[in-house]
Structure 1
Amino acid sequence: EAELGGTDTAATPRLTELIRSFDKPNRRMLLVLDEAQVLAESAHTDLAHSLRASLDGRKQNIKVIFAGSSEATLRRMFGRSTEPFYNWAPLEPFELLGEDFVRAMVAKVNRLSKYPLAQKDAFAAFEALKRTPEFFRRYLNRYLTYADLGSKAALLDTETHVFNDANFVNTWHRLLPADRELLRLIVSGVTDLFSEPSRRRLGAALGLDEAVAKNVPQQSLRRLQDADLVLRMDYGDYRVQDDAFAEWLRNRELED
């Protein structure tokens, strides 16, 4: 087990050296990359390209499992042609993490901190953070750093970062009316974005008395995907990529 901290400039040679060490005959390795979705971030593009180049010629000797807490980002990582790992591996959804995950993480935190974290506080935080492991880990990191301030302070700081209303408002105002309405359709669970009712809603958002042509939602989806706001999960199945933004949109719908 190894953690490649620091900058990509420092991590890339170490990872390459590790992989090359398995070039000897009859050597086999199972490489497990946890939180692998970070490789889809633009800041880690060079590392991702280098990693793929190292792995491509060693598929017989090195088997890889990419694990992560963001299914949407992993799907983009392997499903978008511009990504370094495009079409490199199939996706296999795991069971969603729940109470056992929270208990295990609390036990780990309490081994590290002199300020024990109560399970009831951790469960409350997990629910408040929409049962999203990525957000919960941020909460735990904040708690470990400022444990003397308590769980409520860690949760408040986490919510401020992951549910940052100002950022979402700015994103929302930059969108075209058709794109906003399409996002509303997606978060409300509409599956056929090209149906007559869906296109009528888009038409109403544009001030029209009739349904828009099918190329309108098509172009809107393309813009939202290019902006990394929406991800295509399967044929006709689209999802807002950022869980926090999706939750903000749902709450906005309730307020409206």
Structure 2
Amino acid sequence: MTPETKDSLLFPRTNLAEGILVTFESRLQNAATIFAPRRKGKTTFLINDLIPIAKAHGFIVATADLWFDKAHPERVIAGALYEAIHGAGFLRRNWLKLMRPGSLVQSVEGGASTDGVTLKAELAKEGGLNLIELFERFRILGNGKALLIIDEVQHLASRKEFEDLTATLRSLLQHAHGEVFAVFTGSSQDGLHRMFRRTRAPFYQFSHEIQFPNLGLEFVQHLGQRFREITGREWEVNAAFERFAARGYMPKYIRDVFLLCLTEGLSVRDADHRAWSTMTDEGNFENLILEMAPLDFTVLIGLVKGLSVFSTEGREWIGSEMPGGHVPSAATVQTALKRLQRRDLVGNLGHGEWAIEDIAMEGYLRRNFVEIDPQLGTENDQ
């Protein structure tokens, strides 16, 4: 287990955390972006691997989860910096103060002179915390080893009113290059594209992107070993891994299966049904599908099948699945994708590539409409 970790089921990702930190310590990069769909264990990695290992390396760490208060991301970041400087518990004691009206930063300008880098900021008078002052104190306290982690960073691209904050944040990090390092994490491919990949994106080419790896068979074997240590019996590791893979490699799901097998003596098959029903509302998926236009649903299935939905081949396939067999134009496909995007079902990866955002939804579509497998269908497991 990693430092400060007491979770006996945790499968550490020590190498990933160490790999990120060594690039910071050697000054090879100043920022990293970790993308992982929801339920992939990203937050667990931050809490149990990256943060404690960073602290063990001598970093001072500030962690801001922008979903903690979606309306006021600047206050979440300021609160995280203050807590890193002054100790744990600050947010719980002072959140009402942070909720006072007004932005923390109105504008920021940066420049260089013979005296070094300078920042000129116009600060709002009503702010509960001064973001730029806190960042500077954080930089000084870190003495070259300050780490700012911003979780769900794509939220900064969701509203126009966050643009000033985003520009301020980039300026602060640029001016503290080699002293304050950043790890951005996100669960929306579409949001990360708008933040990092577009030419005019606020953090374009600012950060090295890391695809968060799936846990594999070794994780399920680890759970099997714990099962044997606790019960003296063998766990159905192969059956569990089959379910784990089919459900999209979601660590929380397979941990729930493990605990049901352990505490209630269920088989993996029965535990799978219980755990999956608890995690996902497949009735909601059915309702979403019923509400969709036939074209939108067909385009969605095309993405699940891995088709290039703008290509001639992809559009011909879409036409073959539609009533009347009419082949849609690329513009018509684009319109369907935009409708799906507005419902947070798909994300634009750029260069004509699109992907489904919710891995649970993708798994449901794959299992019921692409690779139909009654052994994994919840309807037939009872």
Normalising by the residue count of structure 1, what TM-score does the alignment of the two structures yield?
0.68
Tell me if the contact between 1:32 and 1:67 (Cα under 8 Å) persists in the aligned partners. Answer: no
Deviation at 1:168, TM superposition (A): 1.0
Name the amino acid aligned to 1:80.
R
Aligned to 2:346: 230
Structure with max Cα Rg: 2
Q: CA deviation at 1:199?
A: 2.8
User: Are positions 1:91 and 2:209 aligned together?
Assistant: yes
Q: Which amino acid aligns with 1:63?
A: F
Q: Which residue does the alignment assign to 2:329?
A: 213
SS in 1 for 2:273: helix
Deviation at 1:163, TM superposition (A): 4.7
Opposite residue 78 of structure 1, the aligned amino acid is L
Residue 178 of structure 1 deviates from its aligned partner by 0.8
Contact 2:188 2:357 in 1 (8 A): no
- Which structure's relative contact order is higher, taking Cα pairs within 8 Å and 6+ residues apart? 2
The residue number in structure 1 matching 2:37 is none
Q: Does 1:178 align with 2:270?
A: no
Which residue in 2 is equivalent to 1:247? 363
2:274 matches 1:157: yes
Aligned residues: 241
Amino acid aligned to 2:264: L
Q: RMSD of aligned C-alpha atoms?
A: 4.6
Structure 2 equivalent of residue 8 of structure 1:
68
Counterparts of 2:357 and 2:328, CA distance in 1: 25
Aligned to 2:284: 167
Secondary structure of the residue aligned to 1:22 is helix
Is 1:76–2:136 an aligned residue pair? no
- Once the two structures are superposed, the pairs formed by residues 107-126 of structure 1 within 5 Å of their partners are 115=230, 120-121=235-236, 124-126=239-241
The structure-2 alpha-carbon separation of the partners of 1:50 and 1:195, relative to structure 1 and needing over 3 Å to count, comes to: closer
TM-score (norm 2): 0.49
Is 1:196 equivalent to 2:312 in the alignment? yes
Cα deviation, residue 174, structure 1: 1.5
Output the CA distance in 1 between the equivalents of 2:146 and 2:248. Answer: 24
The aligned amino acid for 2:240 is A
Give 1:155 shift: 3.7
- Cα deviation, 1:48-82, whole Å, max 9, x if unaligned, reads x97995575134222123467xxxx3533321259
The separation in 1 between residues aligned to 2:284 and 2:64, in whole angstroms, is: 30
* 1:41 to partner: Cα distance: 6.9
Q: Mapping of 1:25-104 within 5 angstroms? A: 27-29=143-145, 31=147, 33=149, 36=151, 38=152, 40=154, 56-59=171-174, 60=177, 61-66=179-184, 73-80=187-194, 87=204, 89-93=207-211, 95-103=213-221
Match of 1:129 among 232, 237, 244: 244
Considering fraction of residues, name the structure with more strand. 2
Paired residues of 1:125 and 1:136 also in contact (CA < 8 A): no
Amino acid of the structure 2 residue aligned with 1:8: F
Residue 251 of structure 1: SS of its match in structure 2? helix
Mark the runs of 5 or more structure 2 residues left unpaired by the alignment.
Answer: 1-50, 53-62, 70-74, 86-134, 373-382
CA-to-aligned-CA distance 1:228-248 (integer Å, 9 cap, x gap)? 211233523322222221122
Letter in 1 for 2:355: R
CA distance in 2, matches of 1:125, 1:97: 13
Greater helix share, structure number? 1
SS of alignment partner, residue 275 of structure 2: helix
CA distance in 2, matches of 1:4, 1:64: 11
Distance 1:65 1:157 in 2: 35
Distance in 2 between residues matched to 1:175 and 1:140, nearest whole Å:
33
Change (3 A) 1:117 1:11: farther
